[in-house]
């Protein structure tokens, strides 16, 4: 390309030269101090499509602090992108490298990274951590766990790259069919049901092995014998009251706290969904709520505590579903403040009685009147706290609901995990929760189960009589009585 100036320049056209000359031409100055070439003229000389193209080059040059070497080499913060790519790989272990690259480009278009550079960065990630994450989501046959795939599929419905991959692996069908257990004999199946029921009741492997006359290792085998117990349970539940209580319970896994999320029917207290998560984040709550929505649809009311991450996940998945905060949690937290701010016992009793009226009066108007009266009795930071937690959220407290149903279930989770089973792996926690869920449905969930479902037709008392050794039962109770007497 030629252009007239005091001399004639011949510029070979390629991407690097264009990038360089887009900056150099901007340094030509008129006698009055203005740029000799406008952005439009620069684009015309370099045969760019629009003035914005040359403007973009100039803006990028300025972002590099006016350093021409940094601008031309366009060095990327390697450590930053290695961490980003590693996090992306951990979250999406089912994707191939090319699919992971497509997902990366869709999420971080400003990186403008080619596939080879992406592979180089990926090779610098923690391979051990990636492999551990992959094996965590595989079943005993080294296939992807169906529960994980379903959660992953539902949580990424807005990502075309992931949806394309997920469609190749998992097929979501409705209605859900029960998994077939035809390979096991009826006697073995009944023994599995009994063992899972007893584990769900909190009995240790030692006691179960004693009652059934089998080894502890065989008890362990029977607990895991039925494949996809979670699927069997979910396929059996066909109805609920449309009012749900939501909460989480922390448990210890190898000395670290992890979380069991649960949704129970607010009327019956029967668990409708249980899942294990390593962190209590808005993303994990969103995945949990999406799985619930897939199986049960939208509820009519959600009751929970004031957990911020739970609220964010709920608002994403159920933006139009009414929700209420648990009054018990609100009262409990405010009472702690009362003991701090009100030293005088009479004054403390006065505000405590007024707080009880906020939730005990029969009409909404009377409860709101008590609310405003209590507000006038408070002062300082306590008044601000009351405004933020009660006045500003009054519409989500007016129905005076509690989440006692899920709190009772949390106590059962604590009981079963605090036994002698040990929780050294996520699989152990999950199976314990599924056994507890299984037991709750057999004892209290008849109204929620399909009459034709497997769980609905399990006669646990009859199975117990057929399999349990009565002499061992008598011996166990006699031993317990002797210990109590001693």
- Average confidence (pLDDT) over 425-453: 89
More confidently predicted of 47 and 294: 294
Q: Are strands 301-304 and 323-325 parallel, antiparallel or unpaired?
A: parallel
Find residue 325's DSSP bridge partners. 304
Give the up-direction half-sphere exposure of residue 33: CA atoms within 13 A in the CB hemisphere: 0
Q: Is residue 234 scored above 80 in pLDDT?
A: yes
What is the pLDDT, as a whole number, of residue 164? 64
Q: Would the CA dihedral through 8, 14, 20, 22 be positive or negative?
A: positive
Find residue 251's DSSP bridge partners. 258
Tens of pLDDT, residues 260-292:
899 999 889 999 999 888 888 888 898 889 889
What is the pLDDT, as a whole number, of residue 270? 92
- Average confidence (pLDDT) over 318-330: 83
Query: Among residues 430, 433, 423, 434, which one has the least CA distance to residue 252?
Result: 423
CB-based burial, 300-321: b 16+ in 10 Å, e otherwise: ebbbbbebebbbebbbebbeeb
Q: Is residue 235 scored above 80 in pLDDT?
A: yes
What is the pLDDT, as a whole number, of residue 441? 93
Q: Is residue 310 scored above 80 in pLDDT?
A: yes
Query: What share of the chain has pLDDT > 70, as a percent?
Result: 78
What is the pLDDT, as a whole number, of residue 116? 80
Tens of pLDDT, residues 368-426:
888 888 888 888 888 888 887 777 777 777 766 666 777 888 888 888 876 544 567 77
What is the pLDDT, as a whole number, of residue 271? 93
What is the pLDDT, as a whole number, of residue 438? 92
More confidently predicted of 24 and 310: 310
Q: Is residue 485 scored above 50 in pLDDT?
A: no
- Are the C-beta atoms of residues 127 and 84 closer than 8 Å to each other? no
Domains of the chain, residue spans: 11-73, 78-169, 327-396
Query: Among residues 334, 341, 155, 30, which one has the least CA distance to residue 38?
Result: 30
Distance CA 187, CA 4 (A): 96
- Average confidence (pLDDT) over 327-348: 78
Distance CA 311, CA 285 (A): 9
What is the pLDDT, as a whole number, of residue 50? 79
pLDDT averaged over every residue in the chain: 78
Tens of pLDDT, residues 136-192:
767 666 666 655 665 665 556 566 666 666 555 544 333 444 445 545 688 888 889
Q: What one-character-per-residue DSSP string does 453-464 give?
A: STGGG--HHHHH
């Amino acid at each position: 390309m030629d252009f007239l100036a005091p001399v004639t320049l011949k510029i070979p056209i390629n991407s690097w030269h264009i990038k360089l000359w887009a900056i150099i031409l901007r340094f030509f100055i008129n006698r009055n101090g203005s740029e000799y070439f406008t952005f439009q003229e620069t684009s015309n000389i370099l045969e760019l499509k629009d003035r914005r193209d040359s403007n973009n080059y100039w803006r990028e040059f300025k972002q590099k602090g006016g350093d021409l070497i940094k601008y031309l080499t366009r060095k990327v913060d390697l450590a930053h992108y290695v961490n980003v790519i590693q996090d992306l790989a951990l979250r999406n272990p089912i994707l191939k490298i090319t699919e992971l690259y497509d997902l990366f480009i869709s999420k971080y278009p400003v990186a403008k990274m080619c596939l080879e550079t992406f592979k180089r960065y990926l090779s610098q990630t923690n391979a051990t951590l990636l492999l551990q994450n992959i094996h965590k989501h595989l079943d005993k046959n080294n296939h992807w766990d169906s529960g994980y795939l379903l959660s992953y599929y539902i949580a990424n419905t807005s990502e075309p790259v992931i949806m394309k991959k997920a469609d190749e692996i998992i097929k979501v069908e409705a209605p859900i069919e029960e998994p077939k257990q035809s390979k096991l004999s009826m006697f073995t199946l009944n023994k599995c049901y009994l063992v899972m029921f007893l584990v769900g009741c909190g009995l240790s492997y030692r006691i179960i092995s004693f009652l059934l006359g089998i080894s502890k290792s065989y008890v362990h085998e029977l607990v895991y014998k039925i494949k996809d117990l979670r699927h069997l349970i979910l396929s059996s539940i066909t109805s609920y009251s449309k009012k749900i209580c939501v909460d989480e319970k922390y448990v210890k896994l190898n000395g670290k706290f992890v979380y069991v999320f649960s949704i129970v029917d607010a009327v019956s207290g029967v668990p409708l969904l249980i899942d294990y998560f390593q962190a209590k984040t808005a993303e994990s709550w969103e995945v949990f709520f999406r799985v619930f929505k897939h199986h049960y649809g939208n509820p009519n009311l959600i009751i929970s505590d004031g957990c911020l991450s739970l609220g964010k996940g709920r608002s994403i998945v159920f933006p139009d579903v009414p929700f209420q905060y648990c009054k018990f949690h609100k009262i409990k937290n405010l009472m702690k403040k009362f003991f701090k701010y009100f030293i005088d016992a009479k004054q403390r009793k006065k505000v405590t009685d007024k707080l009880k009226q906020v939730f005990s009066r029969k009409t909404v108007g009377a409860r709101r009147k008590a609310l405003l009266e209590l507000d006038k009795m408070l002062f300082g930071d306590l008044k601000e706290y009351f405004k933020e937690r009660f006045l500003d959220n009054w519409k989500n407290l007016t129905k005076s609901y509690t989440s006692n149903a899920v709190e009772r279930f949390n106590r059962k989770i604590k009981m079963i995990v605090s036994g002698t089973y040990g929780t050294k792996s996520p699989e152990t926690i999950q199976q314990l929760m599924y056994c507890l869920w299984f037991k709750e449905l057999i004892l209290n969930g008849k109204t929620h189960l399909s009459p034709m479902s497997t769980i609905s037709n399990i006669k646990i008392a009859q199975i117990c009589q057929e399999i349990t050794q009565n002499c061992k039962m008598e011996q166990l109770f006699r031993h317990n009585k002797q210990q109590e007497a001693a």
